[in-house]
Amino acid sequence: MPSTEKMKRLFERHFSKIVSAGIVGSVPLLQIGVVYRLLWVPEKRPVNKRVCRCSCFDTIFKGTYENGGIVRYKHLYFNATFQTLVIWITLLASIIVTYETLSRLLGLFRKKKIRWRMFILFVANLYPNYFSLWAFLNYINDGFYEYFMHQIFFTTTELFSTWNIVRMCSAEADVEAWRIKTIVAIGCMHIVIGVVDQFFEQLILWKGDTSQQMRSLLLVALDVLHVVLPLKELAIIRNSTLKSCLTRREMGEIFICILFGFIVGNSIFKDA
């Protein structure tokens, strides 16, 4: 009985870390094991491990145990290249940052010190950030760099928006107007660039496959959320309505940021 009580106290003490590790660890299972394997491409046949051979594996990390050529099936293999190093560092950094951020926010949640609108925005930001990471890794892994700068632009602005959201997730943190304006400007910028880039074709003309249409629809909806919820938070702080929570000068600043982002983003897309 004492050991059970001890385990309970230990779990309560490390609740945030345990849940954060569980969430981070379950992502590949949910993405590849459920969404991809069961929903997106259920018709793909399993690999025959007995006859499968690979000639693209340099076998460097296997040392003297295996040489290059036609090697047998591996659950995981990687080549000793600069691109592999970039993928490794990016994955490691993403896992650490995600784990630490979730641990902090879950700690605030348990202490009942969470600011709910910002927390909802953080949860809403998980998909766009994960989508950006997955696209970034695939571009590097495939050596497909046509849309690389395109993705860097979206990823950088998305991360900056997320950073500002996390900074305001604590109910004890100040709701700073410049952070709100940054989140709103980035959300509007993504909507405008997305409409010009591909959303108009996929959502208005309804071209492309269903997965692309659903992905575009979800990203647009999340960007709209990043405009409405921060303004609602600012309106409450300023004791005003949603329409009047920004001054004319602040609306002008947001417009300039959107215009600048649109020009930069559009020039990147043209170069892609």
Least confident of 102-111, 150-159, 244-253, 261-270: 261-270
Q: What is the mean pLDDT of residues 23-35?
A: 87
Q: What is the sign, positive or negative, of the torsion defined by CA atoms of 258, 263, 264, 266?
A: positive
**Residues β-bridged to residue 53:** 72
Q: What's the pLDDT at 189?
A: 92
SS3 of residue 102 by DSSP: helix
Give percent of the chain with pLDDT exceeding 70: 88
Judge contact between 184 and 231, C-beta under 8 A: yes
Q: What's the pLDDT at 214?
A: 77
SS3 of residue 72 by DSSP: strand
Alpha carbon of 175 to those of 114, 231, 238, 250: distances in Å? Answer: 13, 11, 10, 15
| Domain-wise residue ranges, the chain | 46-80, 114-271
Q: Which band of pLDDT confidence, cut at 50, 70 and 90, is reported for residue 1?
A: very low
Interval 40-89: pLDDT, tens: 888 888 888 888 888 888 889 888 888 877 888 888 888 999 999 999 99
Q: What's the pLDDT at 239?
A: 93
**pLDDT above 50: residue 159:** yes
Q: Which band of pLDDT confidence, cut at 50, 70 and 90, is reported for residue 271?
A: low
d(CA 121, CA 232): 12
Q: What's the pLDDT at 61?
A: 87
Judge contact between 167 and 173, C-beta under 8 A: yes
d(CA 150, CA 148): 5
